[in-house]
Amino acid sequence: MNNWFTVKVKYTKQLDNGALKRVSEPYLLAAMTFTDAEARIYEELGSVIRGEFTVTGISRTEIHDIFAYDDEDVWYKCKVTYENIDADGEKAKKVSQNFLVSAASVKQAYERIKESLHGLMVDFQIPSIMVSPIVEIFPYNEELDKEISRRPIEEGEEFELTNSKGPVFSASGSDSDDEDEDQEEMDSTERVESEVEDDFDSED
């Protein structure tokens, strides 16, 4: 089963002015385990980063889907909530899912996530949108997985779709309910919600 992992990498980066600076950057990739995630990040960045780099942290990250647009490389994390009715049709459970979308601004991220999820059969809300520090995303790569001795992925575990707007990356294991996220994150996104509402109110 593939999941999303955030891998933090520390290395010496050459800035535009030629100066060297020690930086720590997070990357998102699809992997089965923490060990696989570490092996894959070395494979992905080995020919990209000049000099040595060190993996300083790996954490499982709950992302339901990723909507990539070719015109932007800044990622926004969007929290989407909706009510899911149980099999008996009597009790509704609040479900929260995180999505990533590339956009130029909070307003554009809001518009793109609404557009990308327009096919959902339930009403949903977007309570928070925040800039993600993710530098780059590495979706499932079958050939690379074979190189690092990982088993072939089972059918239906992970898929990659391409539409007119850009690819959608998915990995299984990202449907969990995260209603109990840290209050600190919610506080930091209240300003984002206000910005989105103000932008849309001004257009009306």
User: What is the spatial distance between Cα 171 and Cα 166, in angstroms, rounded to a whole number?
Assistant: 17
Q: How many Å separate Cα 203 from the centre of its chain?
A: 29
Residue type (1 letter), 88: D
Q: Residue 162 above 50 pLDDT?
A: no
Reported as a single tens digit per residue, the pLDDT across 119-161 is: 888 889 999 999 999 999 999 876 655 554 444 434 433 333 3
Provide, rounded to the nearest whole percent, the portion of the chain with pLDDT above 90.
Answer: 52
User: How, if at all, do strands 20-31 and 136-138 pair?
Assistant: parallel
Reported as a single tens digit per residue, the pLDDT across 61-100 is: 999 999 999 999 999 999 999 988 776 667 778 899 999 9
Q: Residue 192: phi, psi to the nearest 5?
A: -65, -45
Q: What is the pLDDT of residue 188?
A: 41
- Integer-rounded Cα Rg, in Å, for the chain is 18
**What element of type H or E holds 121?**
none
Provide, rounded to the nearest whole percent, the portion of the chain with pLDDT above 70.
Answer: 67
Reported as a single tens digit per residue, the pLDDT across 181-196 is: 444 444 444 444 444 4
> Both tokens of residue 92?
């509704």
